[in-house]
Amino acid sequence: MPAISSVNPSPQMSSTLAINTKVRALRAQGHSVLQLGFGEARFPVHPLVLAALKAHAAERSYLPVAGLPELRAAIAAYYRRRMGINAAAGQVIVGSGSKSLLFAALHALKGDLLLPIPSWVSYETHAFLTGKTTHWIPTSFENNHCLTAEDLAAGIKAAKTAGASPGILILNSPHNPTGVMYPPALLESLAQVAKAENITIISDEIYALTAYGDVPHTSIARYYPEGTIITGGLSKHLSLGGWRLGAAIVPDNEFGQALHRYMSAVAGAIWTTAAAPIQYAAIVAYSNNPEIDAYVDACTAVHGYVTGYLYGVMQALHIPAPQPAGGFYLFPGFAPWRAALAEKHHVRTSQQLADLLLQEANCATLPGSDFGADPLDLTLRLATSYLYAQTDAEAEAVLEAHRNNLSPADLLRQTCPGVLEMEERLRQFVAGLGKPG
């Protein structure tokens, strides 16, 4: 009999992708499931970017492994202009989504991985696939689940005590699953600890341009340029997840050059380079174009209205959740209903809670435990981005309402019925559980 590798445990299927498949199947069977499990920005491709793709559809040659030189230059210029990062084209490597680059960076770097609780689902699998141990570092609700300098120092110590060699920290801001942004002062203090402890930071900034709070996104690379790798791409702010175009920026030093060579070798061995027509279109996506900038800002504003609105609903229902400021996620906890959930529904873990919400309210979510949270915390990750646009026409209508300066409340009422439907289902679900404890 042929057999597959006996690696134990085997790698986990990404739960975000698994819930996407599950919801599609449920909908195909006729269930009216609200999709809050999968986080995907759903606005139409910007016309200028689409035109560039069409114009280059016939490009069929393999391109340079690290990406087209013009694209790498455009990405470096973009980071200088929009993120205040002093990047040069030579520091950029383009990949098939930023996921591939996160994997390549972890493969290249020495040491075990430190991850704040909660963290996005794929990092631990990347660490597993690259033979690294993951050490989870607790964070607190009071700190919005942001890692503090003290948490990091304690986490490094605990990992060492457990016999590991912590060498890498993945930080993500704006954050999936909480939607929270790290304030600049916190990033600065984390950078100091990382520097002192010789920890390399992978700063996952895929949501940087979806920051809708009062404070703009800041990269920790500003405080620790010599030891930070930034990853990002087009998936979120331009709704181009399916185009699979990501970029990493390595430090401007010898370490960065060695890292670039290593990551390029991984790329060359596995995905060769990102798809050629997509790379040509990405030059336009990364260009200095006020029209595209305004489009990104409009999409981000809508993510902010919807996510902020549902955050307000949760507050009114006394569901604790960190206040989101970027991306399209919420991370509520149902601990106030712990007793009622256990008594009425035999629900004790976040997975059981997610299953119950799907069964009772037809809302697909992901359990906090998929993001490293204690299953008993009863946290869920809600992705709001599928609530307001199933089709391009619906997404266009929401943007049009925004352009016409509709108030957020009218915009939601007129163009986002899914959001109000979600509000109603959540209200009913919570009402069925009784008063919060």
User: Does 246 participate in binding ligand PMP (rule CB under 6 A)?
Assistant: yes
Binding ligand PMP (rule: CB under 6 A), the pick from 15, 20, 98, 279 is 98
| Shortest Å distance, C-beta 414 to ligand GLU | 27
User: Does 16 participate in binding ligand GLU (rule CB under 6 A)?
Assistant: yes
User: Does 174 participate in binding ligand PMP (rule CB under 6 A)?
Assistant: no
Q: Which is nearer to ligand GLU, 14 or 352 (CB)?
A: 14
- Per the CB < 8 A criterion, the answer to whether 294 and 397 are in contact is no
Binding ligand GLU (rule: CB under 6 A), the pick from 38, 223, 295, 337 is 38
| Shortest Å distance, C-beta 288 to ligand PMP | 22
Binding map of ligand PMP across residues 122-161, x = CB under 6 A, - = no contact: ----------------------------------------
The option from ligand GLU, ligand PMP, none interacting with 383 (CB < 5 to 8 A, set by class) reads: ligand GLU
Binding ligand GLU (rule: CB under 6 A), the pick from 10, 13, 17, 272 is 17
| Shortest Å distance, C-beta 364 to ligand GLU | 11
Q: Which is nearer to ligand GLU, 16 or 279 (CB)?
A: 16
Total chain residues near ligand GLU (CB under 6 A): 8
Which of 68, 326, 306 lies closest to 212, judged by CA? 326
Calpha distance 206→269 (Å, rounded): 24
| Shortest Å distance, C-beta 370 to ligand PMP | 12
Which of 276, 239, 222 lies closest to 79, judged by CA? 222
| Shortest Å distance, C-beta 204 to ligand PMP | 5
Q: Which is nearer to ligand GLU, 166 or 368 (CB)?
A: 368
The two most distant CA atoms of the chain are separated, in Å, by: 64
Q: Which is nearer to ligand GLU, 256 or 418 (CB)?
A: 418
Binding map of ligand GLU across residues 40-79, x = CB under 6 A, - = no contact: x---------------------------------------
Calpha distance 31→362 (Å, rounded): 8
Calpha distance 87→91 (Å, rounded): 7
The option from ligand GLU, ligand PMP, none interacting with 233 (CB < 5 to 8 A, set by class) reads: ligand PMP
Q: Which amino acid is at 436?
A: P
Stretch that binds ligand PMP, among 51-59, 129-137, 233-241, 388-396 (CB under 6 A): 233-241
- Per the CB < 8 A criterion, the answer to whether 94 and 247 are in contact is yes
Q: Report the DSSP pairing between strands 366-367 and 380-383.
A: antiparallel
Binding ligand GLU (rule: CB under 6 A), the pick from 285, 383, 411, 430 is 383
| Shortest Å distance, C-beta 176 to ligand PMP | 4
Stretch that binds ligand GLU, among 2-10, 37-45, 81-89, 137-145 (CB under 6 A): 37-45
Binding ligand GLU (rule: CB under 6 A), the pick from 39, 67, 227, 304 is 39
Binding map of ligand GLU across residues 141-180, x = CB under 6 A, - = no contact: -----------------------------------x----
Calpha distance 375→118 (Å, rounded): 11
What residue ranges bind ligand GLU (CB under 6 A)?
Answer: 14, 16-17, 38-40, 176, 383
